[in-house]
Amino acid sequence: MAVSSCPCLKLFVASSFECRSDSSSGTDQPSQGRFNSARHGTTPFLSGTGMSSLILKFPPNFVRQLSTKARRNCSNIGVAQIVAASWSNNSASGAPSAAAAAAAAAAAASAIPAADPADVLAGNEYKSFLSSDGSIAVHAGERLGRGIVTDAITTPVVNTSAYFFKKTQELIDFKEKRHASYEYGRYGNPTTQVLEDKISELEGAESTLILASGMCASTVLLLALVPAGGHLVTTTDCYRKTRIFMETFLPKMGITVTVIDPADVKALESALEINKVSLFFTESPTNPYMRCVDIELVSELCHRKGALVCIDGTFATPLNQKALALGADLILHSATKFIGGHNDVLGGCISGSTKLISEIRNLHHVLGGTLNPNAAYLIIRGMKTLHLRVQQQNSTALRMAKILEEHPKVCIL
């Protein structure tokens, strides 16, 4: 039975797409644990769950070359392939060449710290493997964390508008919150959720909401968090359409706006003094002049007066700036830019506490600016190279800045 309405629940289901059970582990079960984590409202990474079912064939001495953890680790599929290829090229000897095996073992050892059985037992195996932003951008949310279990390395695109319940009781259990499930495409999708979990990991956020565009993200956020008749502070340097929404549409709900210079802390303090400010919304760095806000300082000032802080960090990416760690309540990105990275997809995301994101999510479910699962897949795909692109962009920008600084025809005003 497919169901198409329920305004209240956002529970996400475990596997309904199991490809192959793993008789050796006996744990390749629907990932119910996914729904129980305090951090995300989900448990994104399932230690040991069905992991060995994800590893394909190993040559005979591969097992001896790598630690248990390394063998199980998805990144070692590549290592396994190198060894397997060398093994099959060398089939006369029936074993991988010593050099290839040693190289594979070294690669595995440098890629992944040695297995700590306590980690495995404590369920930290996958998390400890996500030790850098690069690893997080590539792996977080996927394979071991996603609700769908298949043998595919890539996250499947689930093109569906609604979801099955196997029997009426299952639906009743879902409605009464005893059974976790997706329900309807506007309320959640397994592909999209992988992307949300990935961005949460990068931002260090409890929860992330992904929407159809960056503008969709900022407009829904503003509508959800600033009450009718409320007051908002923003900055002079700001993406034009965001300003247009604030100055043209929000006044229809009696919402007023103070616009300050991004560096003018005094103006912020006075706006906070004079008005009952609900939210300070600013880009950092700003579009187009790349001005940065002291996130720590403005968060402290706003919090003292009970105002929330949202940073549009599109130009920084989640790699160059961790706005939540600096004290902001919410971080927003136009995923259309660096996160997607290939000019082939639009998207927007907001990360923060489960409480705030749920408030925004509730309105999003009504307004319906849902990201298509195909677009979610493209963003996930784009994020595989996010850390490499950002590194390159950073070094190119630095080189350009140095060249311009030294250029005789360029002066600092």
Where do contacts with ligand PLP occur on this chain (CB under 6 A)? 213-215, 239, 283, 287, 312, 314, 334, 336, 346, 348
Give the CB-nearest residue to ligand PLP: 214
User: What's the CA gap between 201 and 349, in Å, rounded?
Assistant: 13
| Residue 346 CB, nearest approach to ligand PLP (Å) | 5
Nearer residue to ligand PLP within complex by CB, 53 or 317: 317
Strand blocks (E) in 249-354: 256-260, 277-283, 308-312, 330-334, 348-352
Q: Does residue 164 contact residue 2 with C-beta atoms inside 8 Å?
A: yes
Question: Tokens 């329900």 sit at which residue?
Answer: 183
Q: What are phi and psi of 148, to 5 degrees?
A: -100, 130
| Residue 362 CB, nearest approach to ligand PLP (Å) | 21
User: What's the CA gap between 413 and 45, in Å, rounded?
Assistant: 51
Question: Tokens 């099955």 sit at which residue?
Answer: 164
| Residue 211 CB, nearest approach to ligand PLP (Å) | 9
Nearer residue to ligand PLP within complex by CB, 129 or 315: 315
Size of the chain, expressed as the number of residues it contains: 413
Nearer residue to ligand PLP within complex by CB, 41 or 348: 348
| Residue 322 CB, nearest approach to ligand PLP (Å) | 17
Q: What is the amino acid identity at position 154?
A: T
How far, in whole angstroms, is CA 173 from its chain's centroid? 29
User: What's the CA gap between 180 and 15, in Å, rounded?
Assistant: 11
Nearer residue to ligand PLP within complex by CB, 136 or 212: 212
Q: Does residue 101 contact residue 65 with C-beta atoms inside 8 Å?
A: yes
| Residue 332 CB, nearest approach to ligand PLP (Å) | 7
Nearer residue to ligand PLP within complex by CB, 141 or 348: 348
User: What's the CA gap between 376 and 381, in Å, rounded?
Assistant: 9
User: What's the CA gap between 40 and 43, in Å, rounded?
Assistant: 7
**Which 8-state DSSP code applies to residue 138?**
H
Helices (H) and strands (E) in the chain, counts: 18, 9
Nearer residue to ligand PLP within complex by CB, 236 or 275: 236
| Residue 246 CB, nearest approach to ligand PLP (Å) | 13
| Residue 329 CB, nearest approach to ligand PLP (Å) | 17
| Residue 215 CB, nearest approach to ligand PLP (Å) | 4
User: What's the CA gap between 276 and 261, in Å, rounded?
Assistant: 19
Nearer residue to ligand PLP within complex by CB, 163 or 377: 377
Nearer residue to ligand PLP within complex by CB, 235 or 314: 314
| Residue 351 CB, nearest approach to ligand PLP (Å) | 15
Nearer residue to ligand PLP within complex by CB, 186 or 337: 337
Nearer residue to ligand PLP within complex by CB, 181 or 284: 284
Q: What is the amino acid identity at position 236?
A: T
Complete DSSP assignment for 63-91? HHHS-HHHHH-TTHHHHHHHHHHHHHHTT
| H helix intervals, 253-292 | 265-274
Q: Does residue 241 contact residue 230 with C-beta atoms inside 8 Å?
A: no
CA terminus-to-terminus distance, the chain: 67
| Residue 358 CB, nearest approach to ligand PLP (Å) | 22
